[in-house]
Chains A and B, each alone.
Chain A
Amino acid sequence: MFPESLRFSVAKSVNQGIRWLLQTHGSAFDSFSSGILGLLLWVQGRLVSVPWWGYIVIVAVMAWIATRKIVPTLVLAFLPFFIGMFGLWGLAMETLALVITSVVIALAIGIPFGILMAEANLFADIIKPILDAMQTMPSFVYLIPAMMLFGLGKVPAVIATLIYALPPVMRLTCLGLQQVPKPVQEAARAYGATRWQLLKEVRIPLAMPSILAGVNQTTMMALAMVVIASMIGARGLGQEVLMAINRIDVGRGFEAGISIVIMGIVIDRITQGLAKRWDPNRR
């Protein structure tokens, strides 16, 4: 056994730290919280203003652009229909708003940071262990403090989703930039490209397939997080799953679960298809 004399606990200081944050910077967290909530409600408002058949049309058009095949387009356009038939349309919209808001914030942070990681090795060395922690830390560990700092409901859900879904887009942006062939970069430098021109004209366009794969991964992970986020009071499909579990209502849980799967498949196929369209090597 590990010697008792070497025992050292940080649990107490972490607790005190969180309490200190709450007491001294509580109002800052509150205003941050209301900012995120505003954005979330705005997104949700836009989503709700589109009628249900509008989504079928939007999904069909995007699926066509992404796949250029009749059958997958029809299947993808028809799938959301099931969500409505299960009577879960409203909850699905709330989930979608949560996913979209989280993904937009994740991309706004993740892509620039990914670029910085590729440009500065020291920065990458510092960030990488943090990303590892974000991906392996059990989500309940940060779900509770997030709830303490940002209150119950959707805002801590967005924060928790961010922590969980941010790493893939950052990693894949960085990886994509690093994998741009050296001869192509050398040619651009030989013709007098500055660092910024090299990034804008050569590296980012050529890293685009990888960056878009990161966007896809981040979206998928955000969707996976919504069930867990419902435990801290975020409404949506996750809440339905949670309720079904509590009542041991397998059928109801199945409907909500299938609805999440449908959203996942539709979003995944569309973003993947768009990523492929973007691939310069496929033209």
Chain B
Amino acid sequence: MSEPLKKDLLGLDGVSADDINTILDTAKSFKEISHRRVKKVPALRGKTICNLFFEPSTRTRASFELAEKRLSADAVNISKSGSSVAKGETLRDTAENLQAMMIDVIVIRHSASGAPHFLASLLNASVINAGDGAHEHPTQGLLDIFTLREKFGDLKGKKITIIGDITHSRVARSNIYGLVTLGANVTVCGPPTLMPARVSELGVDVETNLRRAVTDADAVNVLRIQLERQKVNLFPSLAEYADVYGINSERLKWMKPDCLIMHPGPMNRGVEISQDVADGRQAVILEQVTNGVAIRMAVLYLLCGGVQLTKPDDVIEAAEEKEDTKVS
């Protein structure tokens, strides 16, 4: 079922362990570039990338843009307000117009699940999902897994607990797919109203009791309570959520002393995570952000490095044969 990654990264569902490891290994090399005097390599010189953000974002958007610039690609940013999207242009028309301007890659964030898949089927350009509705956020999943792998080495048998609104979380879904593929034991924990039906079919353990969920975890990934996705009241109040599922210094004592605390940001300090935990010794939240740039550089390089994107398969094959016979 796992097709090798070629031109698009739409999600981690169905991505093989080999492909995930290739991305993580490549990101390891890319991390060093951000520490250079000239934080730039010419790998994607001449490529044009459009960042199409239909939902607000600070981290992901800045991270993609920096990754693109550090690879020497040219980046164009489009957001919902200030573009023709506000005038009612359809996603299809927006994308086809961008392709007509010879864009090589589209990075898209959209509130509708499946929007990147729709574009990928429509366009020759590479499509990278930067978060689609409550579906997936593959580069966030990868950067979380990268951060864990940096700390633990092999993830086989490590226990990772994801806490919060699992139903609406694309971060949770991408983490689950990737971590399960790499052999980690994933537990999801949250109020039953924020737990998707049949979530255990994804290969995770479900736990509604916070203490039981975290007690033997190697890392705890604390999800943001996404008020913008709450159409009905799924829990009584933020205060009550913090009371039952918030991670604070009292609850750190339930965990192993070296358990890592992760958060995809932006944080609601005092709701899902307390001030002292967010800034505490076990938190790797800013390391996640640093790693995010390296992961996005790796994904961009792997998906669209090379001479041309839109060659038909037989030309690619001929090019591969030529590459094979080339000598150093």
Co-complex (A, B): no
Question: A residues touching B (Cβ–Cβ < 8 Å)?
Answer: none
Question: B residues touching A (Cβ–Cβ < 8 Å)?
Answer: none
